[in-house]
Amino acid sequence: MDRVFAGLGAIFAFLAVALGAFGAHALRAHVEPADLAIWETGVRFQMYHALGLVVVAWASTRWAGPLVSAAGWLFVLGIVLFAGSLYVLVLTGQRWWGAVTPLGGVSFLVGWALLAWSALRR
């Protein structure tokens, strides 16, 4: 699983850089400053958790087990739900997508809790 999570982390980090550049250059002229801030929040949390996936990859070599893997998959789910919903909200103007964002936040929180539990229980 270490290669899977390292690869996913690198892909999500690459996409965060690309989406950040898109926001800074292409979106800036077309969306309100508040929406640009929402976009940047999505990019920031995507990058944090892309790096978190790299940590999960490393942790899976140290404390292999289902909790570490679950943490990684929760980070993936969180990126899709949290950052993805913010991107869609900004691009479509459909504010109801904001109701999806907390589900991604909960995924992040549970993922970090599982990773901490895996590290501390040994």
Q: Which tens digit of pLDDT belongs to each residue from 46-78?
A: 999 999 999 999 999 998 889 999 999 999 999
Cα 48 to Cα 45: distance, rounded to the nearest angstrom: 5
Q: Label residue 8 by pLDDT band (50, 70, 90).
A: very high
For 72-92, give the secondary structure using H, E and C.
HHHHHHHHHHHHHHHHHHHHH
Mean pLDDT of 80-87: 98
What sign does the CA torsion over 3, 78, 26, 94 have? positive
Residue 71 near residue 112 (C-beta atoms within 8 A): yes
State both tokens at 73: 């998959």
Q: Considering the chain, what percentage of its residues have pLDDT values greater than 70?
A: 99
Cα 111 to Cα 109: distance, rounded to the nearest angstrom: 5
Q: Chain-wide mean pLDDT for the chain?
A: 95
The H-assigned helical ranges of 23-65 are: 33-62
pLDDT score, position 53: 98
Radius of gyration of the chain (CA): 15
Entry pTM: 0.94
How far, CA to CA in Å, does 49 sit from each of 5, 38, 107, 112? 11, 17, 11, 10
